[in-house]
Amino acid sequence: MHVACNAAEASNDFPELMAHATRAVRLASTLCKRTQFELRNNEKVAKLDDSPVTVADFAAQAVVSLVLERAAPSVGLVAEESASDMRSDGGAVLRRRVTEKVNETLAEEFERTFSEDEVMDAIDRGQTEGGASGSFWILDPIDGTKGFINGRQYAIALALMEGGEVTGGVLGCPNMPGEKIPRGATEIPTASPGCLFVAYKGRGALACALDSSNPFVDGVKISTQKTSHSSEATYMESWGDSIVADHSFTNSLSAAMGVTAPPVRIDSMAKYGALARGDTNMYLRFPPANYREKVWDHAAGAIVVQEAGGVISDGTGKPLDFSKGRFLDIDIGIVATSSAELHATLLETIAKVR
Ligand SMILES: Nc1ncnc2c1ncn2[C@@H]1O[C@H](COP(=O)(O)O)[C@@H](OP(=O)(O)O)[C@H]1O
Ligand SMILES: [Mg+2]
Ligand SMILES: [Mg+2]
Ligand SMILES: [Mg+2]
């Protein structure tokens, strides 16, 4: 049996599981960065069925799954991607490329290589239902795939569920600037080495550079930025063409709150990191009524924001319940704010405006 090795000791009272989580996310981030670089430099590759984005999604999921399975075999996994299409004959090219990427990334971590079958099985370890009992991870190997393809923001998002609630979260944001978003900005630039956010229930939230070898030593405590009046608030929403976000609704809603600053549009759960470290005051997300939100799109971000002093709920104020399986049942949308006061004002305004 394998034993956990070269795991950074968690300090700041973070449980050791979170050290494994940050290591897994950092390895996956390295894989994604390399693949995004290839994407930018080879126009053809993005047009093939086995495009690097697909390669990166699958390979990042396998990397996180393999690292965490060895470190904590009893903790299950709920993850976005499935290997089923790759297992067929038509998936042979992609299967080989995913396996190569995984082995390249894990060469130092493991003193062995993985077969294609082992990599496919590692991906499919995440095809579970989750629920309210036991401990399991929730993984989005690349959140914000559109941002990833286009060189904007994306995140590797990993949450820990214990007894029906999210207790831990890690967000690896490989393109996120270390500097705060300036007031009045409508988007953020791409910057290296990116940022890592980590939080655990009752222990607060930390942020550091993504290339830190020990986030529990290098990380600084982060907290949300309160506003004295809701009209001074700034907000973030999905990138321009996202179908999961109704920008006309956020426009009327913010106007009704007296908000004057323009929205900051950012792909992925990098929005939760930005909210947690005080860059802006709200994240507003209103998908169409027939859209079902997935747990992996919010779990890690939710705990990072809450541990930094923020509040998150659906559009009626109901807390998000991550214990119902792979989907989140929400009403109206998902809102996260920097303070309880702003959250109350926002909910009142939603009820009036909708
Ligand atoms: N047409 C679409 N375009 C982009 N994201 C979509 C989408 N339909 C659903 N989504 C969800 O919204 C997430 C991205 O959110 P955001 O708009 O805040 O960046 C996606 O995560 P993935 O990129 O992990 O699939 C996906 O789950
Ligand atoms: Mg996602
Ligand atoms: Mg994803
Ligand atoms: Mg996806």
* CATH for 87: 3.30.540.10
Atom of ligand 1 nearest to the CA of 268: 19
Evaluate the CA torsion angle 171, 245, 327, 205 in order and state its sign: positive
Report how far residue 297's alpha carbon sits from residue 155's, in angstroms, rounded to the nearest whole number.
10
140 is in an annotated binding site: yes
Residue 177 lies in a domain: yes
241 is in an annotated binding site: no
Instruction: Verify that 142 and 266 share a domain, yes or no.
Output: no
Instruction: Verify that 258 and 128 share a domain, yes or no.
Output: no
pLDDT at res. 51: 40
Instruction: Verify that 273 and 164 share a domain, yes or no.
Output: no
Report how far residue 140's alpha carbon sits from residue 157's, in angstroms, rounded to the nearest whole number.
5
68 contacts: CB under 8 Å, gap ≥ 6: 20, 21, 24, 75, 77, 137
Mean pLDDT of 161-171: 98
Instruction: Verify that 128 and 156 share a domain, yes or no.
Output: yes
Strands (E), 32-118: 76-79
pLDDT at res. 11: 60
303 is in an annotated binding site: no
| 10 confidence band (pLDDT: 50, 70, 90) | low
Residue 4 lies in a domain: no
Instruction: Verify that 119 and 173 share a domain, yes or no.
Output: yes
Residue 8 lies in a domain: no
Give how far Cα 2 sits from Cα of 73, 78, 110, 116, 192, Å.
Answer: 10, 22, 10, 20, 34
Atom of ligand 1 nearest to the CA of 147: 19
CA torsion, ordered 124, 126, 128, 132, to nearest 10 deg: 170
Number of domains in the chain: 2
Could you give the percent of the chain with pLDDT greater than 90?
Answer: 85
Residue 262 lies in a domain: yes
Instruction: Verify that 268 and 322 share a domain, yes or no.
Output: yes
Give the range among 18-22, 67-71, 236-240, 315-319 with minimum mean pLDDT: 236-240
Residue 313 lies in a domain: yes
Distance 47 CA to ligand 1 centre (A): 20
Residue 6 lies in a domain: no
Residues in the chain, total: 354
118 contacts: CB under 8 Å, gap ≥ 6: none
Domain CATH code at residue 288: 3.40.190.80
Closest ligand to the CA of 150? 1
Strand bridging mode 311-314 / 334-337:
antiparallel
Q: What are the residues whose beta carbon lies below 5 Å from ligand 2 (ion)?
A: 140, 143, 297
Identify the domain boundary among 195, 221, 247. Answer: 221
Mean pLDDT of 16-34: 97
User: Which residues constitute the domain of residue 333?
Assistant: 230-353
Nearest residue (CA) to ligand 1, atom 13? 144
Distance 27 CA to ligand 3 centre (A): 16
| 38 confidence band (pLDDT: 50, 70, 90) | confident
Instruction: Verify that 269 and 165 share a domain, yes or no.
Output: no
| Residue in the block written with tokens 């995140």 | 155
Instruction: Verify that 205 and 63 share a domain, yes or no.
Output: yes
pTM score of the predicted model = 0.94
DSSP state of 228: S
Nearest to 183 by CA among 233, 252, 254: 233
149 is in an annotated binding site: no
Instruction: Verify that 41 and 179 share a domain, yes or no.
Output: yes
Distance 90 CA to ligand 3 centre (A): 22
Instruction: Verify that 140 and 210 share a domain, yes or no.
Output: yes
Distance 265 CA to ligand 1 centre (A): 13
Identify the domain boundary among 161, 193, 221. Answer: 221
Residue 7 lies in a domain: no
Report how far residue 147's alpha carbon sits from residue 241's, in angstroms, rounded to the nearest whole number.
11
Distance 149 CA to ligand 2 centre (A): 14
Please say if the pLDDT value at position 351 is more than 50. Answer: yes
Residue 339 lies in a domain: yes
Q: Ligand 1 pocket: which of 146, 266, 305 to mutate (most atoms <8 Å of CB)?
A: 146
Mean pLDDT of 50-64: 80
CA atoms within 13 A on the CB side of 67: 30
Instruction: Verify that 300 and 173 share a domain, yes or no.
Output: no
Instruction: Verify that 186 and 271 share a domain, yes or no.
Output: no
| 149 confidence band (pLDDT: 50, 70, 90) | confident
ipTM over 0.90: yes
Nearest residue (CA) to ligand 1, atom 8? 244
Mean pLDDT of 166-173: 98
Identify the domain boundary among 199, 221, 243. Answer: 221
Phi, psi angles (nearest 5°) of residue 43: -60, -35
Report how far residue 47's alpha carbon sits from residue 323's, in angstroms, rounded to the nearest whole number.
38
Q: Residues with Cβ within 6 A of ligand 1?
A: 80, 140, 142-146, 238-239, 242-245, 267-268, 294, 297
93-111 pLDDT, tens digit per residue, is: 899 999 999 999 999 999 9
Q: 196: part of which helix (H) or strand (E)?
A: strand 195-200
Nearest residue (CA) to ligand 1, atom 11? 244
256-305 pLDDT, tens digit per residue, is: 999 999 999 999 999 999 999 999 999 999 999 999 999 999 999 999 99
200 contacts: CB under 8 Å, gap ≥ 6: 14, 15, 18, 160, 167, 168, 169, 303, 307
Mean pLDDT of 183-212: 97
CA atoms within 13 A on the CB side of 274: 32
